[in-house]
Structure 1
Amino acid sequence: MKTALLTGANKGIGFETARQLLQHGYYVYLGSRDRQRGQQAADQLRAEGYPHVEPVQLDVTDSASIAAAREAVGRQTTVLDVLVNNAGISGGYPQPALATPLSTFRNVFATNVFGAIEVTQVFSDLLWQSPAPRIVNVSSGLGSLTLQNDPCWRFYTVKGAVYPPSKTALNAYTVALAYELRDTPFKVNLVCPGYVDTDFTDHLGDSSVAEGAARVTKAVLLGPDGPTGQFFGQEAGSDLNPW
C-alpha cells in the first residue's frame, strides 16, 4: 500500500485531498498542527469507512515538531511515496507593501515557505525509498508574477505584499528542487487548487473543496511519463488539462 503525508490536513483542501487519496488506496498520514483536531479529522475519515489513516501532530513552523513527526511516521513505515505540502496561512488582508509589519512577513514565510522546505528535507530520506516518489506543493495563482502583471487576469487587483510573494518563493524553490531531482523517479510539482470555497477564502470561492482537492490529487497520481517542475491549476489557465 502506498503511503502519503499531508500537512495542514485536518480541514479544507488538505482534508479532502486526504479523503481522495484514501479512496485511491493510499495509507494517509494526516498532518495537523493541533493534535486534537487532527485526531478528530482522522476519526471522521475512519467513520466514513477509511481505516488507513493516522493523525500526526505536525507544526511546520516548529523544527522539533517536524522531527517528532518524522520519528512517528518512521516507526510505522520505511517508505513514503507522497508528500503534499498543503499547510499555509494568508497573514490577513490588506497587506500594503509599505505598512505591513515585518512580523507578518516572517510568520507567513515561516509556514508557507520555510515550513514546506524543512518538511521536504526532513522526510526526504523516506521519499527516496519509494520507487515513484511524488512531492506536491500547494501554491496559488497569486504567486505567479506573470498573472500578477496581467491586467486581463480576473484577480489582477488582488494584490498583497506578503501572501503572494510567499507563494512566489515556494514556486521558485519547487522549480529548483525539481531540477535537482530531474534524473530520478521523483515528480515535483506545484498546484493551485483554484479559488476554493473554504475558511481560507471566507467561503467566497467558486470551486468546491472536492474540485480543488482533485487538482492536488491528480498531481499525486502522476505516472512515470508525467511532468515535473511545473505549475498547474485553474488560475494558471491549465486546470491540469495537459496531464
Structure 2
Amino acid sequence: MKHLLCLALLLATAGCATGPDPQRERATVHLRLGESYLNEGDSVSALRELLTAVELVPNDPDIHHALGLAYWGRQRPVEAETHLKKAVELDPKLAKAHNNLGALYLDQRRWQEAIPQFQRALSNVLYPTPEIAQTNLGWAYFNLGQVDLATQAYQRAIQANPQWAQAHNNLGIAYSARGQWPEAVRSFRTAVRYFSGYVEAHFRLGQTILCTGEPVAPAAVERLRARQSPCQAINSTRAREAAAAFREVVRLAPESDMGRSAQEQLSRLR
C-alpha cells in the first residue's frame, strides 16, 4: 500500500509537468522516486535520484532532508548531518528534518545536541507524529541520567499515541532505572501487546519480571542501555513467567545478541 501511494503521488506530479517551472517538476519526480527507494531500503538508488534532484533545485528542504536519510542509510553520517542541517536551515519548521537530525545525534550518542532538535520538531503543532519525537527526546534525557524528564517525555508520547509500542518499552526502561518493577513490567507487557514482534520488549519483560529489591546503582542507566539486568536480586518464584518471555525472544530472533542472551537466561532458569 505504501508503494502504491508513492506511485499515485508520482503520477499526480507528472500530470502537473506543464507548469511554469519544468526544472522543479523534474526535481520533484526524482525526489518522489528517491523517497520511494528509501521506503524500500534501497539507499543507493535513492541517492542516485536525489543527487539528480538537488542538481536541478539546490535549495529545496525536502530534497536535502531525503538526501540526509539516504546518506545515513549508506553509513555516511557526516554527509547525512550536512544535508539534514541544510534542510532545517532552509525550512526551520520542517519538523521531520529536526526529528531525524536529532535521531542522527542519538545514533552518535550526542545526547545534549539531540534535545533541541526534538523540541523544535515538537514546537510545530502540525507535526503529525509527535509521539516519535517525544520518544526520541525521552531517550536523550534518559542517557543523560535525567530519568524524570525521560519519563515525562514517554508519557507525553503515549498520550499522543496510546498504541506507540516504543514509548511503552522505553517507559518500562525508565521505571526499571528507579526500581519501580511492577510499573516496568506493566509497560513492557503493553509494548508487546501493541507490537507482538517487539524483541527488545519481550527480553526486558523477562528480565524485569524476576526483579525485586533496589535497582543496580549508580550504573542503572548504563546497564539498561546495554540490556543488562537492572536488579540486584531476583524473585525465583516468577521464573516460569520470565521463561515464557525469553522463549518468545528466542523464537523471534534466535541468532541475535538478545536471542543468545535469552537462551542463556533460560538455561539458568531450568
TM-score (norm 2): 0.25
Higher strand share: 1
TM-score (norm 1): 0.27
Higher helix share: 2
Q: Which has the larger radius of gyration?
A: 2
Higher relative contact order by CA 8 Å / sep ≥ 6: 1 or 2? Answer: 1
